[in-house]
Every structure is written in structure tokens, then in C-alpha cells.
Structure 1
Amino acid sequence: MTPSATYRLQLRPDFPFSLAEKSVPYLAALGVSHLHLSPVLEAVPGSTHGYDVVDHASVRAELGGEEGLRQLARRAREHGLGIVLDIVPNHMAMSPRHNRVLREVLRQGESSPYARWFDIDWAAGDGKILLPVLPGPVGGELGAMRVEDGELHHGEQRFPLAPGTEGLPLPRLLDAQHYRLAWWRLARTELNYRRFFTISDLIGVRVEDPDVFAESHAKILELVRDGVVDGLRIDHPDGLADPERYLRRLGEATGGCWTVVEKILTGDERLPATWPVAGTTGYDALRRVDGLFTDPVGAEQLERRFREVVAPAEDRGGHWEPTVRRAAYRVLLHELAAETAYLVRTARRVCAADPALRDHAPWALETAIRELLVRMELYRPYVTPGGPRTEAATAAVSEEAARQAKAVFAVPEEATAVDVVRELALGGLGDGPDQVAFCARFAQTASALRAKSVEDTAFYRFMPLSSANEVGGEPARPAVSPREFHAFCERIARDWPATGTVLTTHDTKRSAEVRAGVAVLSQCPRWWDDLLAQVSGVVSPDPLVAWQAWQTALGFTPSGDSSDVDTALAAAPDGERMEGALLKSVREAGLRTTWTEGDARFEQAVKDFVAAGPAGAARRTVAHFTRALDPYVRAASLGAALVHLTMPGVPDLYQGTEREYYALVDPDNRARFRPGAPDEKTVVTTAALLLRRERPGVFGESGTYAPVDATGPAAGHCLAFSRTGEVITAVTRLPLRLAEAGGWADTALPLPPGRWRDVLAAPPRVYEASSVPLTTLFQDRPIALLASEN
């Protein structure tokens, strides 16, 4: 069954299945059809997210175990709700103490029947897997190691021992293992297993192996067959060797249950039409919805101002594409150095086996790999050696990228290494083991590079309007016109009617309310200049930090008079939450400090600045701005919520977002779920969800979408559309610009014949004319939801 709407709950030890069960009546009354649960399989003890799976065969005990999950499902069924489950096929926790499969590989080495579970380059490690887990060089950690109960202990860590080695002296014992304990800093260059992005604590899983797929999915498939689980969210499919083959195998095993993939689509990239899924998890929709409420003219002015204020510092440039390119080089040369080395080794073996390719030097192959990867504008190509080469795959590793990569070489003959690497990446040099391995790993590395260089680096360096810096976003082009939005929705309704849509998730850097509070600046860039002038007395350690911090404060500070602000400032932990988000930002940006090479003095300066200004006394100044902007932020917040809930696709509500929800980047946005008091947004959310439930044919896979164009001088400030001729959504766009232009005047919205009831109005309001003036339609709220009563 395709959901009508889902509600994401973040399960954690302090919010287990039993507490989720208590929320069921509330969520059923809200109007959703399914609970969307974060990962439920056994994870590292204490994990607050569950993506660090350690055992695929069991449901997490800390959450209440399998019986707790089944009881939650039974309770949900009693209230008409189903279960959608987030699953993690790409990786497991690199935790020898808790990961049973990994322990067997460490104990037996390459001969272990579980060795096929992981992408381990045994040859590169001289038959050992590198474990970069020690806090310092191994020589200084020997004194902290001991053998006890048949295991090697180091602090809280436990490592299995190869059979027959328990009684060896420590140095010989270490040499006799199938793993090499090492200083954590060696991971960057020496790692010989595939991991999740650059996180060495998460080891990649080879679900392309049929036996590994069967063993790692047995429990999930059992829950689906038993009716406990109705749908699946697939985490990070781009990390898999062959996403389409995996999804086909999964679809066959589940009988085709509703499945969406966390696939990030860049620009106008389309989800592969051959993937047997309902669609994406919705970041492509998020970008379009947010873009509707961003003014392109003001966004350009903010970008110019950003370059004036921020870019001159340390020659940071200030333009999007160069920022991404510099970030990509940095990530490849540092965080992904081990992954690049694997590709070079594999390419060398391919070339060594072909007399025509043997003269491609290792440095030339490495340069070609690097220069092609940094020029990829999509996350990865989708191609397998021997399979068809699609136009999309060719575009991912484009001829233009190859031409630019060749220009780096001084000698044209050496530049032909680019052609070799491109053909390998596109599966064009045969289907031998090394060719297959290179093709898959190139795509997996490209995905990791794109995520780390764009989402986790460039997004923290280039932020004229930080509301646009979300997964799948385009910071250099944050605005989306109504025409573009309508075209997107018409395509979704036609091609992917059951795809997921979102506004806020456990991965968004700013919740929808925070983004709305920032995006309003695009309508009033001069106000932003005024704010910067008023807070200029608060000295910042860096202009980029200041720019981001004040925008964060603007989106994160509720409106109100001075007494309201005093109350807000006294209510911890808002200031602490902002400080945490800013510290994460400067570390991710990697300009002055990083996670691994921290600058303690700079980070302390950031903390002092936040405490003194954006989260401190100056927040009162910010609050006066938010009070003045509140009507326009309210319009954007409510408008985005209504569009999200009524556009094509299956809306997913993140926990708590049925009301105003202020959250920053994780872990701030992954706090324990606590239902709060309803507000105006709750009224809108409940009305839209109940309408979806009452009229499934209108919003479901057979429903249609059509733009409804307002008429009159301010028509561009109204976005409206019809769902299957029975429901009309109308929202206000860019209301501050609208007010400056004189308001709606005689702008009106045409209506089809019949009676139309505004389900958001109280008392109910009915329209029967051929059109309704927007001053009338929006007299109570800047949005309207009209249902046909014919």
C-alpha cells in the first residue's frame, strides 16, 4: 500500500518502541498513514541514530527488541497506521567488540567465510586489514594493551585473536593477527577497506554478493513478509556497487513494497527510470519548494555583498563553482587519499595486463583519476562493465570533463591516461575482475567526494543565503520560479507519483522554519546590511563565521518584544545549540580548523563570539528584526508547509514539524521526540493531512496536477495549483516585495464552476463565483486550501 503521508520518528535508547507506541493515537489523529522509523537493527550501544548497525539478524535490544517492534506495529494497526522502515544496506559499524561478522573476519582473516562481506584490499595490507583505532602511534600504546579472556584489550576496545596466538609475547602476538592495529591518523592514507564517506568507524558492506544480501536482509524481509513493515527507505544507495541490481533484488524479495531511495539529484538530473522504486526521499522536492519563497533579485544582491564582505579574506574567491572545485581537490588529497590510492592500484593492474596500456605511469593514472573526479557535477555514473552505456552515465563523466582533465598534462601522449580512466569508469575496457572493481569503486568514490566536497565543505564556505545550503540545493541559484515548480510537479505526477517529499529531515542543516527566517533576506537585502551594521561592534574571529552566525541567529530567534527575547535568552540550551552548529560549520569548512587538525584558539574565539553576540546580548537586536519580518516569514513557513503537503508525492513529516520547529544541523535536529502544543502550523498540517486521507484518489498515484494562474497586477506573488480538479492550493510568494508594490490590488484567483470550501478557514468559508479576489482569499492567512463540494 502506498502511504498517503509518513511521520518520521528518531528512535534512540531514551525514545524506544514503547514510547513511540504511546505517540500512535496522536499521530493517527494528525492524519498520517504510516510511521517512518529510523533504523531498528542492532547498533552500537548508546547510538542515537542507528546507522551504525552491528547485527542484521536482530532488532535492537535498547529499543525494546523484536517484540517491542511488533507490539508497536500492532498498536499502529489498531489506529489504521502502517510502518515504513529506514534500512542501511551500505555499511556497518567498524566495532570489533560488537560486530559479530567483523569479529570473525578479524579472527580468521581472508579465509573467513565472512570475508566476502566487506571490500577489503588484503594485498594492499600484506594480508592484514588496517584498524586505525589507536589514540597515538602504536609504539606508545603497547603499555596499554593486554590479553585477557582470550582477547586483546586496549582501553574499552576488544579485539579477537587468531587461533593459537593467545600465549605469544605482545609484539609477536600483534604481528600474528589478521589485522594491524594503528594510529587513527593513518586512516587517511593507509586504509585498505571501503568505508562510508570518510568515516573509518563505518565499514562498507558488499550487498552485491547474493549471499551477503540474503544474510544481511533476512530479518528485514521477515518483517515485511509478516506485515510488520509496509515500506522501506533506502539509505545512501549511491554507496553500493550496483544500486539498480540491488534494488531489483530487494523489490523481488519484498514483493514490490513501497520503497524510496535517499538519492541526491543534482540540478536537472533525473532518477534512473529503470530503478524499481517509488522515487526519492524528497530532497529534489525540498529544493523546489524552498526556491519558490526566495527572491532571485535579492539573492543576487546578497551574493555580491557576500563577496565584498567575506570573499576577500584569505583569497576565498566567493564564487560557487571554484569553491566546489577547491573543496574537491582538498577532500581527494586528504580525506579520500586512501580511496584514490585503491583506484590507482586497480588501474595499474588493468594497464599491466594489456600491452597497449602498459606505458601509462602511475602518476599519470593518479592525475587522470583526480582530475576527472573533481570535474564530476553529479554524484556518480550508473553503469556496469558489459552493460549498456546510458546517456546519463556518459554525461556524468563527460567528454568536456575529460578535455579539461587532459589540459593539466604537459605532454599530450601522457594525457591519454585520461581516456583510459574514463573508459574504465564507464565500463568500456572489458568485464574482468579489475575492470569491474574499478568501475564500481570509481562510482562509489565519486559519490563520497561529491557529498564531502559539496554538502560537507563547500556548503560551509559559500553561503550568501544559507537557507539554500541544503542537501540537493543549489546555493548559486537558490530561487525557483512558479513555472519551474509547475514543470517539476507535472513531471513528478506523471513519472513518480508516489515519490517521497520532505521539508525537514534528520539530515537537514536547518529546519524549514529556520530556512524561512533566512530566506526572507532575499526580499530585503538592505535590511541585512542594516543588521550587520548594528552588530558590527561584536568582534568576530572571521568574516565568514560572522556572516553565517548572524544569518543563523536571524532564522533561529523567535520574534517578539524585548521581554520575549529575555525569556528566550534565559531558556537554555538555545545558545549552546547555536554554538555547537557554528563549531561544526567551521570544522567542516576546513579553512581555519578541522575535525582532525583543530585550532583550539580559533575555536575558542568562535565560542566567545557566539556567546557575546548571536547567542548573547546582541540577540535582542536580532529579535527586533525578526519581529518586523515575522509576517513575511510566517507566509513562507505556512506556504511551504501547505505546498509540501498537497503537491504530488508522499509527504514525510519529520518529528515535531507539524508545528513551528527550530533546529540546526545534527545532532541538534535528532533530539528525543516530544509532542508539543499545537499552533497555527498544526492547524494547517492537520487539515491538509485529513483531506489527503479523505480523498486518496485526488492525491494518490492516479491523481493529476495542474497549475492555476492568478490574474491581475500581483499574479506573480500567488502560486496555485489544482489536484485532480477537486482541491486547489494557493499560497503567497514573496510577501514583503508584494507589500512594497502596493499589495494584491485587484488580483484574483479563477475557480472552476461549483462550490469551493476553504478547509483552513474558521468558521468555514465557501466560494461559488468564477474567481475570488486574493484580498478575500487571504484575509485570514496568507494561504488557502480549497476543496470542491460539488
Structure 2
Amino acid sequence: MTPERSVPLVPPPPTATYRLQLQPDFPFADAEAAVPYLASLGVSHLHLSPVLEAVPGSTHGYDVVDHARVRDELGGEVGLRALSRTARAHGIGLVVDIVPNHMAAVPRHNHALWETLREGPSSPCARWFDIDWDAGDGRVLLPVLARGIGDELERLRVDGDVLRYQEHAFPLREGTEELPLPKLLDAQWYRLGWWRLARTELNYRRFFTISDLIGVRVEDPEVFDATHGKVLGLLREGVVEGLRVDHPDGLADPGAYLQRLHEATGGRWTVVEKILADGERLPAAWPVAGTTGYDALRHLDGLFTDPAGAGELLGQYRRFTAPPADRGGDWGATVRRAAYKVITHELAAETDRLTREAAALCAPHPALRDHAPWALRTALQELLVRLPVYRPYVSGGAEPASVLTVAAADDAKAAFTVREEAEAVDVVRDLALGRIGSGPGVDAFRARFAQTASALRAKAVEDTAFYRHAPLLSSAEVGGSPERPAVAPEAFHAYCARVQRDWPYTGTALSTHDTKRSADVRAGIAVLTQCPQRWADLLVEVTEQTARMGGTCAPDPQLAWAAWQTAVGFGFPYDERLQQALLKHVREAGLHTSWTEPNEAYEKAVTAFAEAGPCGPPLYTVAEFAAGLRPHVRANVLGATLLQLTMPGVPDLYQGTEGEYRTLVDPDNRRPVRFQAHVLEHLEEHRDRWDLSEEKLALTAAALRLRRRRPELFGGAATYEPLSVRGPGATHCVAFARSGELVTAVTRLSLRLTDAGGWRTTELVLPEGRWTDLLTPGREFTGHARVADLFGELPVVLLERVNRVSPDAREASGEPESSAPGEPA
């Protein structure tokens, strides 16, 4: 195929990316139509969700079925190339999301899986998948049946060389087509089973606990080449310029994979979806630009969270909901209990495989072979639930010993009553650290232990504990730290300085397709940390109103708390979107109902509560309360936006977030966005009537255009300098300079500031020179600027240094002297 263009070996990194969630209702053609608007906004690259062939109708694309084809439903390769040409004509490149960890386990669409199921372990495609053939008596369990096989026989039918069940199709092993149905089923390389058997009998690696997504062995060079050929070809031709790697923690050896990818791409800009725990660092040896930005999100959200108020909210939450410590009242206990549930139920099959492998590795050692399987299983469970990170790494970063500590092992031993049996903990820990034996078996166990750890952490924390522990929902976010939700300005500056030094081209994010609440919703909820007593008073009032007016009560106080807090952040009016989010909330929490064991009576009560307002007449009281917080929500929204756009790293904007953007958990946040380019074109015509959405759009455009115009201020050679703020409101202003040419300053905790008397004499010490305001044209500042003047129309300010002019040149040009320090020119 003719190359699209001649490209440099390594194109420059993006200055800013814009995420588009492609789906059949928003294909390449729609993305192409949005290019002129996004170019005028100032982004340098479009960040596309997965573009390879996926399950028909998929709204996300992470269920890839064919790595060699661009997805037809999006417009195929012709559509992608057309999008690339149009984008390139507007000075924009493409970054695509790739999914190396898994594929859709849908045989009729996944050719490699179809061949594996037809030919068994001898199939050349069998090496693609991490299947434990021994555990299934030589067959792969496919948990697709609605009931047990005996109850579903009449629904199975043979159609030539294909076995069909409802919408499913499976290949028949050659020569078995004419067998009676029971014998035909037994003769296959797979076993059709009840969907509930996946918990205990599944014998292939999957994505987390989703049996519809089967793990891929990209550590095999042939599999890597087959699954990356199309994307690498698009990179070589310049159709695509960068990559976002989905879920590297699920791979057997993420470091080795990323090194192979780096070499194959020629060092193109690549970021990884690595969720870093609070205080955890990205492995320094990984040849990537950085992460997709959840670590930045945690710091940005935390900066606008009041630590004292967050503590008060926790106390109020415990009193209002009265949960046991391990059911949401205490974060650590909540995570531990959730982890036990996941490891003993949803991940029971994965734990059993680790137990078998541990026993096999112990067998050659006389001193180790007598550990009972149940003791090894218990030791595995007790160690895994105590891991504070998603995955321990042996190379390319911190040693796993840093998280598999002696203290963690001693704590795990408390689950045993016999000391000799407790020694199994040390055995498992040493196996996970590679201290017992060597060779492929040990390496495989260590990799599988780490893979299981990442799945456990994701399911226990993100998908369970975040829904059980709800004192401050804005902190219950991917990569978040509900135990320590607030981030001090000093810690934020230290983080930014470290990013500039170590990962200057890492991604930063505020909203993504995976965030449980968009940044603007979280900004509204975070304001509650500045007025915890007002929040407590509101709860008393709406509770009394519900009782007095006959409103519909929540089925439990924890749901009421979460619903009202969500309503405050989400805003009014709302529709079934809140209802669906609340249903997902209670199912994920798994305390009263769940996805697999739904409690219909409880869920009807949740729906009735949500449909009533929530809580009927008190809806208007909650709406009035939220309206009173709007000025402070505005400060949070604009402040977080400007910080993300000017701090170290490459900002990634999620579709639609350049304006006010309020969405809840998926699928709500994955709806197609319809762009209105004329809003940006005519923005200045009615500046005096801007609402928050227009203010945010103007701010975003100003910052992005600056990044595009002066990329040297933000790249690897740039500098980051915290600026000094002096006076009674100093803790409420966060300011920094970039490369001595740009100043960002924002307001934090504005409600607390107002209650304390405002800015008064607070001053920001600007670097030497004259500074012009990019957000409010016509204003200039020098020296010690009064913060009250800086934040005249907006609670944020973006200043660019005016080039120094000599006195002689100034006199010749008739340019006036600069204004007095701190005063607008």
C-alpha cells in the first residue's frame, strides 16, 4: 500500500491530546467532521479509542476480535486514513488506543479462538491464549449457558460443522459432526458450561473477572507480531503517530512487552494505563513517556479537597449511615473485606491455578513438599489481599519485596492456628519473589501471581470498595486515595517538579471513559469538604422533610447519602441517568444486591427512591443547597482545568470536557458527543454573558493555543517553579511559572476563603518582567501583584511574559511605562 507520507523517525510528542470515544454512532466520519473545530481549539493530536475490529455493536472497542483489520463499523481502514489526512491537513496527528492484554471470547468473530477450539492445543493459534489445558481435562470451559448443561440440551443444535446455542456459534472438531449430541459434546476441545462455573472452573486467563474477554499471550514473539502488525504498519506510514497501551498490568511481563513495543515503533510517544497507588512510582526502566494520567488526576482533585472538612465528612458519614467498620466505615477494613470476597469468589479459579502451580514448584524440595494445598491457597489469599499496589514488579522498578514485606507476611500468618501451617506464607512469598528454584515454572508463577494481584486490586478497590465507602464520592475515583483524599499545595508542587524531571511527556487527565464521575461532578462534590456542617444540616432537613411529607425513602441510609451527594455534584434537573448510576452503585457494592444475585425488591426500592427526586419533596431543598455552592464549584472547575492544561505533562481532554461536562459512570460517560463549532467561533461576541461552560471553553482554548504556539515552555527542556504567595489568603492561591515565561495561578478552597474574609492584602510574587493576562485581554501585571486584582473576573489567571523592551526603544516607540506593581496596566 502506498505510504500516506514521509514521516520523521520519531515525530515530536503531542502538546495536547483530545480523546474521542469511537463507536458505531460516532465513526471515523464524525471524528473527521470535528477536526476543524478541534484544530481551532488548539489540540495537537486526536486520541482515538481502539480502532481494530471488535464485537459488532461494541460501544467501546476493547473487545477486539481481529488485530489485522480496522473496524468496519467505524468506516474501516479507508475511513481511518481519511480521518488521518484531514487531521494532518489541520496540523493534528492521531494517537490510538491498543489492547494487548485481551480479546473478545466470542468464537464466531474471533478467528484465532475459533481455530483453537476446533483443533485444540495442537492448533497454531492455541499459543495465542493462556489456557490451562490440564485443569480442564484437555478442554476449555466456555461458561455461556444460562443453566446447567442438562437443562439446556434442547437449545443446542448442530448446523453442519457448527454447534449453535442461542446467538453463540462454536466449531466442531473434525469428524464429530454425526455423533449423538451427548457424545458430540464430550468429543470437543471445549466444554459448554453454566455461566456460574466461571468462578471456580474457568481455565483460561481473562480480563479481571470478565469471562467474555480472554487473555492474549503477547509475550510470545509470534503472537506479538500477529497482534501488532496492523498498528505498526499504520505507525510506519504516518497514519498514526502515538499509542496509548491499555492495562499493561495484565501482561506476563509488562517491562519486556513495552521494550519490544518501543523497538518496534521506533520510540514513538507511548503512554500506559498504569494505575499507581498513592506514593507508588512508575518503573523507571519502562521505555514509555509515562502514564495516561490518573496519578495527575488524584493530585488535582486532592488540591481542591479540604483535609479538615474531609475528616468531618467521614465522621458524619459514620454517624448517618452507621456502617460496621468493614462495611464502609473504615477504608482499610472495607478494602480488605472486599478483597476477601473477590479472591474467594470471583477469582477462585485463578487462586486454584496458583495453588496447583505452587504445590508443583514445592514438590522437588523435600523441606517444602508437605505443605497442604489448602495451606498454600490460604497463604496466597492472605498475601494477595494485603498488596497495597495493583502489581508488584521484579524488574524495571521497585522490587516486590517492597510491598510483600515481612510485616505483611506476619500479618498474613495470623489466619493460621498452627505455626507449621503458617510457614506456607513464607513459601508463597519466596515463590512470588523468585527466591525458590528457577526456570520457566518459577517465572510463570511469579507472573501469574502479579497478574492475579492486578485483577484483585481493580475489582476489590475500583469496583467494590469505592461503592461501599462513600463519605466523599469525589475521592472514590480511579487511582484515588479515599483514605487520604486531600493534597497540600506543597505536595502538589513536589509532584509537578518530579513529573517535569522524570516524565515531562506523561499524560495528565481529569475525565476519561473510565472515571466514575466527570471532573465537573467531582468538583461539585469536593466543595462539601469546605462546608461539612452545612452538609450535615442539609441531611437532617431532608430526612425530616421526607418523614413529614411522605416522601419516598431510600432503602438504606448509605444509599441516601450517596444519592444526595451525587445529586449535589451532578446538578439539576436530571433524568434516568441518576437512576441508572445508583443501580450500578448498589450492584457494584454488593451489600444488598449484585449483578449475579440481584435482589429485586431492594432494586425496586432504589428505583422508586431515584424516580422520586430522589426523596420526593426534599429534591427542591437539595437543589437550593447546590445552587448556593455554584460560585465555589466554578472556582474548582476552572482551577482544576487550568492546572491540568499548564502543569508538567501532556494534557488529555476527554470529549466534551472543554465546556461544562457532567456525566456519571459508564455507560453515561461514553455517549456520543455532538460538537458545536460555532460556540467557539463566536465566543467573544457575548463575553459579558458567559456561563461556566463558556468560561471553561475560553480558558481551555487559550491554554491549548498557548501550548501549540510555544511548546518549548512545556517540554522536556522546560522548567517548573512554584511561586510565593504572601498574606492572609496565601494557602488559597496555588501558582507556578513555566520556563520563566508563563504564570498560572488558581483559587483553591474558595468557600473557606470567603468565610475567612477574602483575599485582603494577599500578594503573588511574580517573576521579573511584565505579564499580560491571556484570559482577560488588556490587563498587565508586574512585581508583587495583589491576588484580588489578579482574580478580577475569573478565579484563575494565565499570564504570559511580555518581551523586555529597552528604555530607548520604549521611548522611541512611545510605549508608556509599566504600571505600578500589582496594578493593571
TM-score range, shorter chain: over 0.9
RMSD: 1.2
Q: 1:782 corresponds to which letter in structure 2? A: P
Q: 2:769 corresponds to which letter in structure 1? A: G
Q: 2:158 pairs with 131, 143, 147, which one? A: 147
Structure 1 391/643 Cα, relative in aligned 2: closer, same or farther at 3 Å?
Answer: closer
Judge conservation of contact 1:553–1:619 (CA < 8 Å) in 2.
no
Q: 1:777 corresponds to which letter in structure 2? A: L
Judge conservation of contact 1:757–1:787 (CA < 8 Å) in 2.
yes
Residue in structure 2 matched with residue 622 of structure 1 by the alignment = 622
* Secondary structure at the counterpart of residue 428 of structure 1: coil
Separation in structure 1 between the aligned mates of residue 327 and residue 226 of structure 2, nearest angstrom: 49
Unaligned runs of 5+ in 1: 559-567, 569-573
Deviation at 1:424, TM superposition (A): 1.1
Residue in structure 2 matched with residue 312 of structure 1 by the alignment = 323
Residue in structure 1 matched with residue 606 of structure 2 by the alignment = 606
Q: 1:778 pairs with 791, 794, 798, which one? A: 791
Residue in structure 2 matched with residue 510 of structure 1 by the alignment = 517
Judge conservation of contact 2:286–2:396 (CA < 8 Å) in 1.
no
Separation in structure 1 between the aligned mates of residue 290 and residue 396 of structure 2, nearest angstrom: 22
Structure 1 660/617 Cα, relative in aligned 2: closer, same or farther at 3 Å?
Answer: farther
Separation in structure 2 between the aligned mates of residue 758 and residue 488 of structure 1, nearest angstrom: 26
Judge conservation of contact 1:376–1:396 (CA < 8 Å) in 2.
yes
Deviation at 1:313, TM superposition (A): 6.4
Alignment partner of 1:496 is 2:503: yes
Q: 1:346 corresponds to which letter in structure 2? A: E
Separation in structure 2 between the aligned mates of residue 40 and residue 389 of structure 1, nearest angstrom: 30
* Secondary structure at the counterpart of residue 326 of structure 1: helix
Residue in structure 1 matched with residue 714 of structure 2 by the alignment = 699
Residue in structure 1 matched with residue 637 of structure 2 by the alignment = 637
Relative to the length of structure 2, the TM-score reads 0.92
Deviation at 1:381, TM superposition (A): 1.1
* Residue pairs, 1:529-568, within 5 angstroms: 529-536=536-543, 537=546, 538=551, 539-558=553-572, 568=573
Deviation at 1:753, TM superposition (A): 2.2
Q: 2:751 pairs with 725, 736, 741, which one? A: 736
Q: 1:755 corresponds to which letter in structure 2? A: R
Q: 2:112 pairs with 83, 87, 101, which one? A: 101
Judge conservation of contact 1:553–1:615 (CA < 8 Å) in 2.
no
* Secondary structure at the counterpart of residue 738 of structure 1: helix
Judge conservation of contact 2:284–2:397 (CA < 8 Å) in 1.
no
Deviation at 1:764, TM superposition (A): 2.3
Residue in structure 2 matched with residue 470 of structure 1 by the alignment = 477
Structure 1 503/34 Cα, relative in aligned 2: closer, same or farther at 3 Å?
Answer: same
Deviates more, 1:419-428 or 1:41-50: 419-428
Alignment partner of 1:484 is 2:468: no
Deviations 1:44-67 (A, max 9, x none): 000000000000110000000011
* Secondary structure at the counterpart of residue 311 of structure 2: helix
Separation in structure 1 between the aligned mates of residue 514 and residue 119 of structure 2, nearest angstrom: 37
* Secondary structure at the counterpart of residue 166 of structure 1: coil
Deviation at 1:434, TM superposition (A): 2.2
Separation in structure 2 between the aligned mates of residue 250 and residue 434 of structure 1, nearest angstrom: 25
Deviation at 1:352, TM superposition (A): 1.6
Deviation at 1:772, TM superposition (A): 1.0
Deviations 1:144-166 (A, max 9, x none): 11111320011111110000111
Residue in structure 1 matched with residue 808 of structure 2 by the alignment = none
Deviates more, 1:613-622 or 1:469-478: 613-622
Deviation at 1:613, TM superposition (A): 2.8
Q: 2:350 pairs with 328, 339, 346, which one? A: 339
Q: 1:557 corresponds to which letter in structure 2? A: G
* Secondary structure at the counterpart of residue 528 of structure 2: helix
Deviates more, 1:397-406 or 1:669-678: 669-678
Separation in structure 2 between the aligned mates of residue 615 and residue 655 of structure 1, nearest angstrom: 32
Judge conservation of contact 2:325–2:333 (CA < 8 Å) in 1.
no
Residue in structure 1 matched with residue 70 of structure 2 by the alignment = 59
Deviates more, 1:617-626 or 1:182-191: 617-626
Q: 1:213 corresponds to which letter in structure 2? A: F
* Secondary structure at the counterpart of residue 357 of structure 1: coil
Residue in structure 2 matched with residue 689 of structure 1 by the alignment = 704
Separation in structure 2 between the aligned mates of residue 430 and residue 218 of structure 1, nearest angstrom: 36
Unaligned runs of 5+ in 2: 1-11, 681-693, 804-825
* Residue pairs, 1:126-525, within 5 angstroms: 126-312=137-323, 316=327, 318-383=329-394, 391-525=398-532
Judge conservation of contact 1:575–1:616 (CA < 8 Å) in 2.
no
* Residue pairs, 1:104-119, within 5 angstroms: 104-119=115-130
Runs of 4+, deviation exceeding 4 Å: 388-391
Deviation at 1:374, TM superposition (A): 0.6
Judge conservation of contact 1:578–1:615 (CA < 8 Å) in 2.
no
Deviates more, 1:27-36 or 1:356-365: 356-365
Deviation at 1:779, TM superposition (A): 1.1
* Residue pairs, 1:643-658, within 5 angstroms: 643-658=643-658
Deviation at 1:554, TM superposition (A): 0.4
Residue in structure 1 matched with residue 671 of structure 2 by the alignment = 671
Residue in structure 1 matched with residue 778 of structure 2 by the alignment = 764
Judge conservation of contact 1:242–1:382 (CA < 8 Å) in 2.
no
Judge conservation of contact 1:331–1:453 (CA < 8 Å) in 2.
yes
* Secondary structure at the counterpart of residue 575 of structure 2: helix
Deviation at 1:414, TM superposition (A): 1.6
Q: 1:27 pairs with 38, 50, 73, which one? A: 38
Deviation at 1:615, TM superposition (A): 8.1
Q: 2:554 corresponds to which letter in structure 1? A: S
Q: 1:550 corresponds to which letter in structure 2? A: W
Deviates more, 1:289-298 or 1:610-619: 610-619
Judge conservation of contact 2:284–2:396 (CA < 8 Å) in 1.
no
* Secondary structure at the counterpart of residue 443 of structure 2: helix
Judge conservation of contact 1:133–1:181 (CA < 8 Å) in 2.
yes
Relative to the length of structure 1, the TM-score reads 0.96
* Secondary structure at the counterpart of residue 797 of structure 2: strand
Q: 2:592 corresponds to which letter in structure 1? A: R
* Residue pairs, 1:33-44, within 5 angstroms: 33-44=44-55
Deviations 1:163-199 (A, max 9, x none): 0111111111101100000010100001000000000
Judge conservation of contact 1:43–1:52 (CA < 8 Å) in 2.
yes
Q: 1:779 corresponds to which letter in structure 2? A: G
Deviation at 1:530, TM superposition (A): 2.1
Deviation at 1:437, TM superposition (A): 1.6
Separation in structure 2 between the aligned mates of residue 206 and residue 196 of structure 1, nearest angstrom: 12
Judge conservation of contact 1:381–1:426 (CA < 8 Å) in 2.
no
Separation in structure 2 between the aligned mates of residue 228 and residue 616 of structure 1, nearest angstrom: 54
Judge conservation of contact 1:38–1:49 (CA < 8 Å) in 2.
yes
Deviation at 1:429, TM superposition (A): 1.7
Q: 1:254 corresponds to which letter in structure 2? A: T
Deviation at 1:389, TM superposition (A): 9.3
Separation in structure 1 between the aligned mates of residue 354 and residue 399 of structure 2, nearest angstrom: 22
Deviations 1:97-137 (A, max 9, x none): 11000000000011111111111010000000000001111
Deviations 1:385-435 (A, max 9, x none): xxx696532112122111111222222222111111111111222333321
Identity, % of aligned positions: 65
Judge conservation of contact 1:380–1:396 (CA < 8 Å) in 2.
no
Judge conservation of contact 2:283–2:396 (CA < 8 Å) in 1.
no
Separation in structure 2 between the aligned mates of residue 403 and residue 315 of structure 1, nearest angstrom: 21
Separation in structure 1 between the aligned mates of residue 762 and residue 393 of structure 2, nearest angstrom: 48
Separation in structure 2 between the aligned mates of residue 157 and residue 315 of structure 1, nearest angstrom: 41
Separation in structure 2 between the aligned mates of residue 224 and residue 326 of structure 1, nearest angstrom: 45
Separation in structure 2 between the aligned mates of residue 339 and residue 315 of structure 1, nearest angstrom: 25
* Secondary structure at the counterpart of residue 2 of structure 1: coil
